[in-house]
Amino acid sequence: MLFGSLSACGGRQDAASTDAGGAVTCEVTKDTRVGIATGNATGVYFALGNAYAEQIGEAGGKLKATAAETGASVQNIQQVVAGTYNVAFALADTAADAVNGSGSFTSRQPIAALTRIHTNYTQVIVRKAAGIKDVAGMKGKRVSTGSPKSGTEVIANRVLKAAGLDPATDISAQKLDLTKTVDGMKDGSIDALFWSGGLPTPGITDLLTTAAGKVEFLDITSVLGDLQKINPVYETGTIPAATYRIPADVATIVVPNMLLVRDDLDPDVACVLTRVLFDRKAQLVQANAAAKEITLANARKTEPVPLHRGAVKALDDLGAPK
């Protein structure tokens, strides 16, 4: 397998060996570059991915990294499997679909996890002028369901179906990235949005700041039971009022995130990538507060996605609970 990435401007590709077996030393002895697939430019994946790439380079080893904006979870997994990128941010429900060959994937995908990271909060926001009081009230409305092949799109469609709507016919689906979605909410061309992201998401902060009083969150937890029938990874969570300076906390549905790689990635590279994430967590928190949720206590909780054996070595060395 080719190990490498395209840089943001087209760049070069560097090759490295795949897993040849043997002991994991957690040492990368040759100059090696990895590509990290993140998400929309105003989302948490992008903020953390760029900070992570920077910290990999500053760790002082032979490993360097470049982060790129992408459509997020589904696309990220497809591109890691294809060898376009080496590391992918992805939602746990999409990752489970990938290893099971279900949902957006027609066959089992050869992926493994480096670790569980922060939690994504399903953030559903409507324009008050649209008169939408619940998800069922989105019928006939212009609704952004996120970038095509994103984890946001997967969750948005599942929530809509759970509320009795057909995403293909009952709404005017706007399959837009977060930047264009926020612009549409501001100018009134979009009535509602779905966004699955960490807290705070810069684009959502922008919307709630510039359109204060004109938009509001929806509580979608009434459909949780239907989503858990699809995947038990879905849970309830709370968006604290202080996150976006809104009047009150908002109950919502949450799902964990993971860092994924191909299952045949050089285990020494996988080990170093995992160590850097935890060794330099403080620097990641400076980039986005969502990184506070990256903990050794949760690191191994990636089921049904198996941990890469290089990551297992790193987590063992770091003392992560088993």
Q: How far apart are alpha carbons 113 and 309 in whole angstroms?
A: 9
The pLDDT of residue 20 is 77
- 27-40 confidence digits (pLDDT tens): 999 999 999 999 99
**The model's pTM:** 0.89
The pLDDT value given to residue 173: 97
For 75, the 3-state DSSP assignment is helix
270-295 pLDDT per residue, tens: 999 999 999 999 999 999 999 999 99
In the block, residue with structure tokens 């837009």: 176
Which pLDDT score is estimated for 17? Answer: 58
For 221-274, what is each residue's pLDDT tens digit?
Answer: 999 999 999 988 999 999 999 999 999 999 999 999 999 999 999 999 999 999
- Beta partners for residue 215, in sequence order: 127
321, containing H or E segment: none
Angle at 182 between CA 239 and CA 209, to 5 degrees: 60
Q: Which amino acid, 85?
A: Y
**8 vs 252, residue with greater confidence:** 252
Report residue 160's pLDDT band, with 50, 70 and 90 as the boundaries: very high
Please give the pLDDT value at position 316. 98
pLDDT for 240? 97
pLDDT of amino acid 60: 84
Whether residue 36 contacts residue 53, with contact meaning beta carbons closer than 8 Å, is answered with: yes
Which domains does the chain possess? 32-118+257-318 (3.40.190.10), 120-255 (3.40.190.10)
- Cα 195 from Cα 171, distance rounded (Å): 16
Confidence of residue 201 (pLDDT cuts 50, 70, 90): very high
